[in-house]
């Protein structure tokens, strides 16, 4: 599944979770609703962990698209960023490591923007 598709799915999951909030008062009355509430909590934790990386990729995307590179190149770049340990470095608040990972993966044309991409995330 392409990164964009994964992010779109995440948005749909967030929307679905928001619609489940109405069940919160009924959880004690029905075992199935209790399971839904547990799933909701697990998904909220998972999405919360991914939020900084998703925000960073969202900042990078317009600048990368402005370079007008091949779509497959962009897809490969985003996959490499997701798999690079960037999410863990963001979660740890390690700005230096984040900068290193971005510098290693991003085209040189985007290097001047690395500090801006990371601003407020680490």
pLDDT at residue 27 in the model: 47
State the pTM of this model.
0.65
Give the residue among 84, 72, 58 at the shortest CA–CA distance from 2. Answer: 72
Give the residue among 42, 45, 39, 54 at the shortest CA–CA distance from 121. Answer: 54
Q: How many CB atoms lie within 10 A of CB 64?
A: 20
Cβ–Cβ under 8 Å, residues 78 and 57 = yes
pLDDT at residue 43 in the model: 78
The full length of the chain comes to 122
Question: Residue 20: pLDDT above 60?
Answer: no
Give the residue among 65, 96, 99, 42 at the shortest CA–CA distance from 34. Answer: 42
Q: What is the largest CA-CA distance in the chain?
A: 58
Mean pLDDT, the chain, whole residue set: 82
Cβ–Cβ under 8 Å, residues 61 and 8 = no
Cβ–Cβ under 8 Å, residues 82 and 101 = no
| pLDDT (tens digit per residue) in 37-94 | 788 788 777 777 788 999 999 999 999 999 999 999 999 999 999 999 999 999 999 9
């Amino acid at each position: 599944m392409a990164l964009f598709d994964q992010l779109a799915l995440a948005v749909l999951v967030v929307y679905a979770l928001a619609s489940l909030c109405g069940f919160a008062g009924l959880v004690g009355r029905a075992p199935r609703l209790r399971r839904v509430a547990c799933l909701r909590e697990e998904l909220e934790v998972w999405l919360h962990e991914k939020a900084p990386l998703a925000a960073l990729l969202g900042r990078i995307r317009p600048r990368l698209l402005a370079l007008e590179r091949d779509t497959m190149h962009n897809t490969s770049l985003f996959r490499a960023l997701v798999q690079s340990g960037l999410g863990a470095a963001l979660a740890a608040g390690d700005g230096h490591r984040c900068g290193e990972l971005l510098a290693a993966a991003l085209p040189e044309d985007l290097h001047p923007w690395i500090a801006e991409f990371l601003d407020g995330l680490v």
